[in-house]
Amino acid sequence: MRATNTTCVSAFSVRLVATIIAMLMSGQVLAEEENVVWDHTDVPYGVDDPARQFLNIYLADTTEPAPVYLFSHDNSKTAYDFLQNDADNVHDQGYILVSWESIVQLNSNPQSILTAWSDAQVAFDWVRANAAAYNMDPDRIVIAGRSRGSIASWPLAHSGHAAIQGIYMYNALPNSIWRQEEVWSPVNEVNADSPPIYMVYNPTPGDGNSHAPENAYKIREAYAALSIDDTFTTYDSMKANGFSSINHYFPEFLDSLEPSGPPANMVDDFEGGNSTYPWTENGAWYTSGGTYNQDEIIGAYSAYAGNPAWDDYTFEADMITVNSLDPAKAWMANSLAFRVSDEQNMYFLRLHSNGALRLRSVDNSVNTIIASVATGYSPFAWHSYKIEVSNDSIKASIDDELLIDISDSDHPKGYIGITTNQSSASVDNVRVTQPPGC
């Protein structure tokens, strides 16, 4: 978890910011297009002024809680104004768009800037507190803004809160914000806990536009001084390149956030890179073409790897049952084993040839079915399996579809593994990840 930056809005006195004048220029308007049709509008997030402190929500099409794109608009717009194609670039990534209002037009009045900074924090806190009501993930929030919105969101974006996964800004930090750097400078908000950031610009460097892409370079220098410049990215010349959406780079930005997740304890793509956790095998297992294979269909065989002390973890693997001694006997298929103590004590998950997915516990050689669900999947095709264990909770998914969600306490920790029963197997992309702190 990131350390919290204790700098808060109240620390910026009106006296200091009184000299900031003409902070923002109006944002450039793209081609006319219909605004997004919001799922919820005029939702109050504060109690000071409902005419000012409200937000609009565009929901994601997800069953699991969705991450949030918390957006602040530019001076030429309001919280209602968000173009459909821009919104779709957020929506298509499985994010919920939340556009929050504050002081609509920031100006030379220093109190307006202080109010916007304060409102940003209140809106953020409201999203986290009310996440369940809108199927939001309170711990995965991207802070976003355009021109004026980049200023309104900037202190919040660099507050160090662990829920802030990254910053995505368009035409950020226009020229006028830099006129009184001795009073307030965006550079001073950057700290060792600042999250990954994308700063993207419509203009081209050197063309004299008030939203100068060169302003991003000052932030890059601040990131570099803290040795976190590998998390800084900037793009410019969007207009010259024919890009019309402010979120053109949003999918790439999200891809860049992936390494910030918890590190994998074990990764094996069977290209020779897994030297920390070698497999202990029963049978003639071999690697070929980047997969791990066992060809014998008479008998039961296994391969185990990992650490016997692993307790809470996510185990992922791609697997196919290549052949079966008798496909009519549904149980003659491969399994993924987890929390393995030894051959007589473990859990294992098997997709049967009739589509049944069964979770079993082997306790001192006694084999018990603890969950069974009918599916439309076949073990004779490649599928991505995921098993998540946390305390007594066990969740099992195929191709990102959650199929089993139960509690059981038979086995608290152990290795991961692959087992075959009168079947041959190919496996790839094994990955074991423990949550932070484990």
What is the arithmetic mean of pLDDT over 161-168? Answer: 94
- Whether the Cβ atoms of residue 211 and residue 28 lie closer than 8 Å to each other: yes
Residues 6+ apart with CB under 8 A from 275: none
pLDDT of the residue at 6: 35
Superfamily of domain 264-433: Exo-inulinase; domain 1 (2.60.120.560)
Taking the C-alpha atoms of residue 243 and residue 246, their distance in angstroms, rounded to an integer, is 8
Pairing of strands 197-200, 232-235: parallel
- Which two tokens mark 336? 């993924």
**pLDDT tens for residues 223-246?**
999 999 999 999 999 999 999 899
Give the confidence band of 33 by pLDDT, cuts at 50, 70, 90.
Answer: low
The reply to whether the predicted model has a pTM over 0.85 is: no
- The yes-or-no verdict on residue 7 having pLDDT over 80 is no
**pLDDT tens for residues 56-83?**
999 999 888 999 999 999 998 999 999 9
| Residue appearing with tokens 């084999």 | 367
pLDDT of the residue at 293: 97
Give the confidence band of 206 by pLDDT, cuts at 50, 70, 90.
Answer: very high
**pLDDT tens for residues 247-259?**
999 999 998 886 5
**In the chain, which segments carry CATH 3.40.50.1820?**
9-260
Of residues 21 and 109, more confidently modeled: 109
What is the arithmetic mean of pLDDT over 119-137? Answer: 97
- The yes-or-no verdict on residue 362 having pLDDT over 70 is yes
pLDDT of the residue at 291: 95
| Average predicted confidence (pLDDT) for the chain | 89
What is the arithmetic mean of pLDDT over 153-161? Answer: 96
**In the chain, which segments carry CATH 2.60.120.560?**
264-433
Residues written for the chain: 438
What is the arithmetic mean of pLDDT over 337-362? Answer: 96
Within 187-342, strands assigned E span: 197-200, 232-235, 264-268, 280-282, 285-288, 291-294, 300-305, 313-324, 335-342
**pLDDT tens for residues 399-412?**
999 999 999 999 99
**pLDDT tens for residues 80-97?**
999 999 999 999 999 999
Of all helices (H) and strands (E), which one includes residue 359? strand 356-363
Return the CATH number of the domain spanning residue range 9-260.
3.40.50.1820
- Quick one: which of 347, 417, 430, 335 has its CA closest to 379? 335
pLDDT of the residue at 275: 75
What is the arithmetic mean of pLDDT over 429-436? Answer: 82
- Which two tokens mark 183? 């009073």
Least confident segment among 167-171, 235-239, 259-263, 366-370: 259-263
- Which two tokens mark 297? 């269909």
